[in-house]
Amino acid sequence: MSGSGAAAGFGLLSASSWGGSDFVGGLGARRAPALLVVVAGHSFTLIVLLAICLGMRFAVPGWSPFLYSAIGGFEGALALALFYRALAMGAMGLTAALCGLITALIPVLFSMIHEGLPKALEAVGLAMGLCAIWLITRTPSANEGLTGDELASGAVGKAASRAPLLMGALAGVGFGSQLVLLKMAGTVSIFWIMADARAAGVAGLIVVLLIVYRKGLPKGSGEMAGKGIRAGYLGFGILAGLLDTVGNLFYILASRMGRLDEAAMICSLYPGGTILLAMLFLGEKPSRRQVAGIALALTAVVLLSV
Residue 171: pLDDT over 70? yes
pLDDT value of residue 194: 96
Per-residue model confidence as pLDDT tens digits over 261-291:
999 999 999 989 988 999 999 898 888 999 9
Give residue 228's pLDDT band: very low, low, confident or very high (50, 70, 90).
low
- Give the model confidence (pLDDT) of 80-109 as tens digits: 888 888 877 766 777 888 888 899 999 999
User: At residue 145, does pLDDT exceed 50?
Assistant: no
Helix axes 92-115, 63-89, angle to 10 degrees: 150
Question: Domain-by-domain residue ranges, the chain?
Answer: 3-144+156-305
Cβ contact 44:193 at 8 Å: no
Task: Place 148 in a pLDDT band, splitting at 50, 70 and 90.
Answer: very low
- Mean of per-residue pLDDT scores for the chain: 85
Q: What is the pLDDT of residue 105?
A: 92
Tell me, what's the pLDDT at 237?
A: 93
pLDDT number for residue 85: 81
Q: Which of 113-127, 136-150, 153-167, 187-201 has the lowest mean pLDDT?
A: 136-150
Return the pLDDT at 13. Answer: 96
